[in-house]
Amino acid sequence: MKHQFLKAAAVSPDLKVADPAYNAKKIIELIEKQAEKGTELLVFPELGISGYTCGDLFLQQTLLDGCLSALEEIAAATKGKKMLVYVGLPVAFGDKIYNCAAAISDGTVLSFTAKTYLPNYGEFYEQRHFTSGRGLDGYVSLKNGAASISANSIVYDKEHDVYVACEICEDIWTAAPPSIEHCRHGATVIVNLSASNELVGKRERRHGILSAHSRKNICAYVYCSSGVGESTSDMVFAGNNMIYENGDCLAETSPFSDEACEAEIDVGYLIASRRRTTSFLGFQGDPPEAPLYRWSPASFVTDAPLTLRKVDPTPFVPHDGTQRKERAQLILDMQAHAFARRISHVHAKTAVIGVSGGLDSTLALLVICRAFDLLGKSHEDVVAITMPGFGTTLKTKNNANALMQALGVTVRTINISQTVLRHFKDIGHDPEVTNVVYENSQARYRTMILMDVANQTGGLVVGTGDLSELALGWCTYNGDHMSMYAVNSSIPKTLVKYLVDAEAERLGGRVEIVLKSILGTEISPELLPPDSEGKIAQKTEELVGPYELIDFYLYHFVRRGDSPAKTLALAEIAFAGKYDRATLKKWLVDFYKRFFAQQFKRNCLPDGVKVGSVSLSPRADWRMPSDASAALWIEEAENL
């Protein structure tokens, strides 16, 4: 379980109905196979030792004895293995029979979890044979001791902070699944041993309920259903297995396949998400105490390396083409409606924006025009100002002018070079020294122009800075750092280009041509003079790192709460073949240094709408003192 990842699998074995010995043999073969893969949690289907479709044979003592004997054989096969295994079987206790899941680890049957909700409709008639486990509390005698039986049992590996609980098939389909209480009492991983027959549309319903249930309970959900070996007298089973993590499907097997459903569950992410969600009613104590809850300690977690986890290199950007287009239009609508509301509220006559020919100001201008369309206002009330200075290249200047003209906004050009040179003379700065004074004087003068023009025209200055720049503090304090409303403040750089591209496709014509040219321009603040060929000399990603890495690190730091070691390990998977470990580590260390050092800029940000799961607004999403130390994070990252 390296970096708090739990390797889990759900497998639907070939079986014979009412043949426990045969089924045990198949289960043991799969246990051996999964052990070789380093699986730590292995789940089999409901009543997998007997078969779900035994009918009235469940009432036969011969079958019940055979199942218990097969269970002990399976348990013996786990001896010496670092693995937690769940298998299903009918269990006689007292004068009743229960539909149970047995938890097994290292040769021992730890506990039996009895099914709570028994269906008795349509093709399912479990109440004919079984009794609900609600309120059950006792021990089942085995050859080598006894194991608890109840509806509420949690197996935990204290060393690795992993708590696993179980429910069975119908339990998840009810209004109050037992797993809700399991999660409240500490379980982060829920397993479901199921015998869900295949019907047209049922696969989609499984996805819906597992996604919603795992998200609202902030848990992982390992779902294993019976396969084609069951009787087909009235139903067919397809072994459609799924593993979910906080709403997201990590893995799924196709219906009627004999594949193992395998995934690595990020338990650390689940714990971090619960800690930040104060509405989640978690437990207190170690282990938590509750009536009728059975706690089974076990050591089933290893330090196996990650081999299955799919790590998204661009977590802010959807990969599906259709979804990406839909998401882009939704985000643009959110930005536009938010700004339209602000314009209406303050009765502003104009919107004032500085247009550089770069991606961020382009996106902000497109959003303003959308907002004005919503309000029925003329684009001529958008005052777009291009302010060429020492670093402005012909390409960006031409792109800025072409975009403003194509959108029909009011265009103003104010060259700042001579005014800034006079300012250098006033403060005694040598213009040959191209340091932070040289750069920031330009940014602050541009902001002063925008603010004054806004006063002049009765408008609002619209900020253009994006989320990635805020994370790094890559803006001039009280320069481009400041505005009257910041429409891009929660848009990461990797997403900006997709939004601009989406608008290019939607608008077409001259606008699309200009936007494509802007998309092909290198990212730069253009505060230093161009090179000898008149091209951009100051390239942002050479100074702060590739934005795809910055956004990756930002997401895993703020959204998932990952440590430096875990973040680097995931980055190596996500960017394998593109960046080596030394490069990833270099920019990770730099990210932590910049993020902590630049909090003072984020603590006084202008208003701006949140559109995604990550925001650095000091009023809501990210509250951090400006003088917090980054020592812990930097030390860990530097020593990796």
- Reading the block at residue 404, the tokens are 């403003």
Task: Please state whether beta strands 242-245 and 124-125 pair in parallel, antiparallel, or not at all (unpaired).
Answer: unpaired
Q: What is the pLDDT of residues 14-48, one digit of tens each?
A: 999 999 999 999 999 999 999 999 999 999 999 99
- Reading the block at residue 287, the tokens are 């282990």
- pLDDT cut 70: percent of the chain above it: 98
Residue 532 has pLDDT above 80, yes or no: no
Cα distance between residue 463 and residue 469, in whole Å: 12
> How high is the pLDDT of residue 406?
96
Ordered domains of the chain (ranges, CATH): 2-292 (3.60.110.10), 321-638 (3.40.50.620)
Instruction: Select from 38, 54, 39, 148 the least CA-distant residue to 103.
Output: 148
Cβ-based neighbours of 71, under 8 Å, separated by 6 or more: 24, 49, 87, 89, 102, 104, 109
- Reading the block at residue 241, the tokens are 């297995």
> How high is the pLDDT of residue 322?
80
> How high is the pLDDT of residue 31?
98
**CA-CA-CA-CA torsion sign (106, 111, 114, 116):** negative
Angle between helix 564-574 and helix 631-638 axes, rounded to 10 deg: 50
Answer yes or no: are the C-beta atoms of 157 and 300 closer than 8 Å. Answer: yes
* DSSP symbols for 67-136: HHHHHHHHHHHTTT---EEEEEEEEEETTEEEEEEEEEETTEEEEEEE-S---EETTEEGGGT----TT-
* Residues identified as active-site: 46, 115, 169
> How high is the pLDDT of residue 291?
61
Q: What is the pTM of this model?
A: 0.91
Q: State the average pLDDT over residues 314-337.
A: 91
- The secondary structure of residue 629, as a DSSP letter, is -
382: β partners: 351
Instruction: Select from 359, 403, 355 the least CA-distant residue to 383.
Output: 355
Q: Place 127 in a pLDDT band, splitting at 50, 70 and 90.
A: very high
> How high is the pLDDT of residue 290?
60
Cα distance between residue 252 and residue 243, in whole Å: 6
What is the SS3 assignment for 230-264? CCCCCCCECCCCEEEECCEEEEECCCCCCCCEEEE
Grouping H, G, I as helix, E, B as strand and the rest as coil, residue 228 is coil
- Reading the block at residue 117, the tokens are 């909700």
Instruction: Name residue 610's amino acid.
Output: K
Cα distance between residue 88 and residue 454, in whole Å: 71
Q: State the average pLDDT over residues 170-177.
A: 95
- pLDDT cut 90: percent of the chain above it: 83
Count the alpha carbons within 13 Å of 555 in the hemisphere toward its beta carbon: 23
Grouping H, G, I as helix, E, B as strand and the rest as coil, residue 320 is coil
Mean of per-residue pLDDT scores for the chain: 93
> How high is the pLDDT of residue 521?
87
Within 10 angstroms of residue 506's Cβ, the number of other Cβ atoms is 15
The total number of residues written for the chain in this structure: 640
Q: What is the pLDDT of residues 580-592, one digit of tens each?
A: 999 999 999 999 9
> How high is the pLDDT of residue 321?
77
> How high is the pLDDT of residue 280?
81
Residue 210 has pLDDT above 90, yes or no: yes
CA 519, 522, 526: angle at the middle one, nearest 5? 120
